[in-house]
Amino acid sequence: MFRSRTLVALATLSLALGIGSSPAQAQGGQGRKVANASKMARAAFESLSDDDVVEVGGKPMTKKQVMAQAKALRDARAPIATEADELENERASFSKKQKAALDTENAAVLVKMGEIRKAGGQQEVRKAGKEAQDSAPAPTTGMTMLVAPAPAPAAATPALSGMLGQLKPGSAVILFGSNFGTLEGEVRMYGTFPNGFIKLSVDSWGNGGIGVFVPADIKGVLDQQVTLKIVTKAGASSNYKTAPFTAARELRKMKMGEFAKRECRDAALSVDACTTTGQTGCSSSVCGDHSVPIFPGAAASTDRWSVTLKNTWTFDHHGYSGGTYFSPGPQEWVNPVVLLETYAMGNEKPKFRNLSTPTAPSFEVEWLAPSLWADTYKLDVYVVGPAGTSHI
């Protein structure tokens, strides 16, 4: 994670100074108690003995402990986002789910095909028919189809009457009808494709039914109504059959520049930076950083990120984390007791609001940065839509 993750490690900071040592342990039998240490100048504080005991957030600590923990906070300056890009893991998970769903749909088609065969009598097995009779996920080959007891008359016109399965990249489909002949011809799917139509991959061909697979590599097209036509080996064309086609889906992570509304809000005294994937170590959609290196001072505002998606793309999910870190400027001389008390009091993490609808991802991050501290956050926005098409 980014800087806040480093600070989590510092939570041992005696639980932000809350657990600490007992007065006796802090003094170790040595040193003296110092009142109002937070009001001391830095030089005066540093002149104290290491064993002198001061109060930090109501808890006793030796000067040595204060200096060590203040140094730890000052050293926690990791880049805002150094973790590896999670996009590949997200895509792998998405692809696995998509494949599982497709395998289930294909298996159901093959199971139904087996039922039809049992009721139909004669059959023709062209490729490993035993696998096609099982109810396991669809193999790439092995579908068998019903055939008429005798070849259809040459003059008969092929008729396409029905379909089992769903038209989507990689799906198994059965086309029913009559007079297709016993020699393999073509199955064409017409729509808004580069060449006007796509030839479906024939697995099995029979006079009364044809088993096909939709090519798995179809990209760059939207969901649409398509028409199917069968062309026999003899060149005869069947009637057209209309059916819905569902485009392959892909997962994307948005970048900051893709949001139509981009607000990395600044405020008086603040230093604001919002970066995106590939910038200064940021691997997220947005990496926000708001600091106030002026003492005394404070600043607050709200960042906003929103967009309306197109081409049936939809908001899928988001990832968010926010935190604080010490952001010293020229005033790093601040008394370490003041530094630790400020942290112990709890720097408020930026508040996140997800205002998204399915077609319009929208987010707000309300931040408040006090002197020498910064509010940071990491926002990942994932959208899903037809592979190879634009989402904005």
Residue of higher predicted confidence among 149 and 368: 368
pLDDT of residue 23: 45
Phi (first) and psi of residue 124, to 5 degrees: -125, 125
User: Considering the chain, what is the average pLDDT of its residues?
Assistant: 81
Residue 27 has pLDDT above 80, yes or no: no
By residue count, the chain amounts to 392
Asked which of 13-22, 165-174, 324-333 is least confident by mean pLDDT, the reply is 13-22
CA dihedral of 45, 49, 53, 58, whole degrees rounded to 10: 20
pLDDT of residue 120: 42
Report the C-alpha gap between 123 and 113 in whole angstroms. 11
Asked which of 200-204, 225-229, 344-348 is least confident by mean pLDDT, the reply is 344-348
Residue 2 has pLDDT above 50, yes or no: no
pLDDT of residue 155: 53
Confidence of residue 87 (pLDDT cuts 50, 70, 90): confident
Closest listed residue to residue 98, CA positions, set 221, 313, 246: 246
Sign of the Cα torsion 143, 148, 153, 158 reads negative
pLDDT of residue 180: 93
Please confirm whether the linkage preceding 350 is cis (ω < 30° from 0).
Answer: no
Locate 140 and state its tokens: 């790439």
- HSE toward the beta carbon, residue 82, CA cutoff 13 A: 8
Residue 324 has pLDDT above 80, yes or no: yes
Report whether 356 contacts 368 (CB < 8 A). Answer: no
Q: Which residues contact 101 (CB under 8 A, 6 or more apart)?
A: none
Residue 238 has pLDDT above 90, yes or no: yes
Residue of higher predicted confidence among 292 and 352: 352
Confidence of residue 312 (pLDDT cuts 50, 70, 90): very high
Q: In which region does residue 181 sit, left (phi positive, over 0), alpha (psi from -120 to 50) or beta (all else)?
A: left
The helix-helix angle for 336-344 and 63-75 (nearest 10°) equals: 70
Report the C-alpha gap between 108 and 272 in whole angstroms. 55
Report the C-alpha gap between 79 and 95 in whole angstroms. 31
Q: For 63-90, what is the mean pLDDT?
A: 75
Report the C-alpha gap between 3 and 374 in whole angstroms. 10
Report the C-alpha gap between 230 and 173 in whole angstroms. 14
Domains of the chain by start residue, with CATH: 3-78+253-386 (no CATH), 93-247 (2.60.40.10)
pLDDT of residue 113: 64
pLDDT of residue 28: 47
38-58 per-position pLDDT tens digit = 888 888 888 899 999 998 888
Q: For 240-249, what is the mean pLDDT?
A: 97
Tell me which H or E stretch contains 221.
none
Q: Is 257 helix (H, G, I), strand (E, B) or coil?
A: helix
Residue 335 has pLDDT above 50, yes or no: yes
Asked which of 104-113, 243-252, 295-304 is least confident by mean pLDDT, the reply is 104-113
